[in-house]
Amino acid sequence: MDKIKFTILGETGSGKTCYLLGMYYEMSAGRDGYSIVAPNRDESRRLVANFKNLTDASLGRKRFPEMTDALQKYNFELQHAFNTILPFEWIDYPGKWLDVSESASSGLTEVENSIYNSTALFICIDGENLTGNDTAEKIERVRDKCSRHISPYLAQLSGKNRGRKFPPIALIITKYDLCNRETDEEEILEVLQGSFSPLFERDDTFIVIVPVSLGSDLQDDDSRGKFSPINLHLPIYMGIWFALKNYIADLKRQIEVDKRTISNYNEMIRDEQDRFFLFKSNDKILSWRNRISENESEIRRLQNEISAMKQSYDRLERELYSINLTFINGRRRK
Ligand SMILES: Nc1nc2c(ncn2[C@@H]2O[C@H](COP(=O)(O)OP(=O)(O)OP(=O)(O)O)[C@@H](O)[C@H]2O)c(=O)[nH]1
Ligand SMILES: [Mg+2]
């Protein structure tokens, strides 16, 4: 199976790194029986140091991470009841690389490659763009600051992959605490449909819209507000749900291959048995029977793995029903 990769896109300062830290903080302690671990000690230490800062209100502005200036990869595992469901890679890169006019071409290539190989895309839209009470202006801001930079990459993805489905996409409204009093679900939808219209026109794409925040009063009193995360777990649940779906489909394909192998051996055994007894090879028949039983036990192993995965898959699917703004192949889920 290909490595599971999640890429997070968004202009500089839109909250990508904070989202990662907040999500890891929330999920490393566990939620709904799920947890996320970083098996690499150095990565884990780096993440813990950074999220400790994020939760330390006494640091004021210094609680936030520095602007990211190089691509960073993190390896995580999603666990349920401390059993690993799936490992995945998270790619965090500098938002300034998205800007075609400013980025070095090596940066652009890195971004392109990580989008191209991603199991799911997370696109951050800074909640600050949704402040005020003029919807048209909000659409203009999101267009200018976000979709204008991201759409060319999506267009390219579509071109390179003609005939292949788009990866599932979570449109994440970051810093929702800044705009929640000045917007609502329906307006968010209008703004995003207005600023990312080609995306919503596609009939092969799964899209969720999730407002997230690190804390409802985070910005108060010179950034000394309490860290109290909202919805940080949902985008990652969506990504893992799709990864599981692909994984289960892979396992089913392997079962089909094993079944075909068994039927080939059975045919060979029948042909051999039909031979005149002087030419019949009992050794061959015996070795083919052994192969058949190896394939049968492999099928049983794969079927057990599918049932274990299916439980996680169904459980995650239930969690995803809490996302109201979900679009499946161009239609809003009722
Ligand atoms: N009010 C509020 N501010 C936030 C929240 N999350 C992030 N911020 C602010 O947004 C700033 C930028 O966040 P980063 O995560 O560093 O942004 P980034 O997208 O990683 O930026 P680059 O690394 O330059 O690409 C932080 O320094 C915080 O001031 C949030 O949930 N609420
Ligand atoms: Mg960053």
pLDDT digits (tens, 9 = 90+) for 173-225: 999 999 999 999 999 999 999 999 999 988 888 999 999 999 988 877 778 88
- Which token pair is 290? 């052994």
Residue nearest to atom 26 of ligand 1 (CA): 64
pLDDT digits (tens, 9 = 90+) for 129-183: 999 999 999 999 999 999 998 888 888 777 666 666 788 999 999 999 999 999 9
Q: To which residue do tokens 């893992």 refer?
A: 240
- Give the C-alpha separation, 55 to 262, whole Å: 57
83-92 sheet: strands from edge to edge: 34-37, 72-80, 83-92, 5-9, 120-126, 169-174, 206-211, 326-328, 331-332
pLDDT digits (tens, 9 = 90+) for 253-276: 999 999 999 999 999 999 999 888
Q: What is the pTM of this model?
A: 0.91
Centre of ligand 1 from the C-alpha of residue 15, in Å = 3
Burial (CB count within 10 angstroms: exposed 0-12, middle 13-18, buried 19+), residue 66: exposed
Which ligand has the nearest atom to the CA of 21? 1
Find out whether 47 and 1 touch, Cβ atoms under 8 Å.
no
Average pLDDT in the 243-262 region?
95
Q: Is 107 in the pocket of ligand 1 (CB under 6 A)?
A: no
Residue nearest to atom 7 of ligand 1 (CA): 15
pLDDT digits (tens, 9 = 90+) for 288-324: 999 999 999 999 999 999 998 898 899 899 999 999 9
Find out whether 43 and 150 touch, Cβ atoms under 8 Å.
no
Contacts 24+ apart (CB under 8 A), 317-323: 317/241, 319/32, 319/233, 319/234, 319/237, 320/208, 320/234, 320/237, 320/238, 320/241, 322/234, 323/208, 323/209, 323/210, 323/234, 323/238
Average pLDDT in the 114-128 region?
91
Q: Which of 54, 131, 175, 219 has most ligand 1 atoms within 8 Å of its beta carbon, as the pocket-test mutant?
A: 175
Q: Is 11 in the pocket of ligand 1 (CB under 6 A)?
A: no
Residue 208: the pLDDT is 96
State the CB neighbour count (10 A cutoff) for residue 226.
12
Residue nearest to atom 2 of ligand 1 (CA): 175
Residue 132: the pLDDT is 96
Q: Is 22 in the pocket of ligand 1 (CB under 6 A)?
A: no
Find out whether 221 and 262 touch, Cβ atoms under 8 Å.
no
Residue 109: the pLDDT is 79
Q: Which of 194, 186, 179, 180 is closest to 131 using CA atoms?
A: 179
Q: Which atom of ligand 1 is nearest to the CA of 174?
A: 31
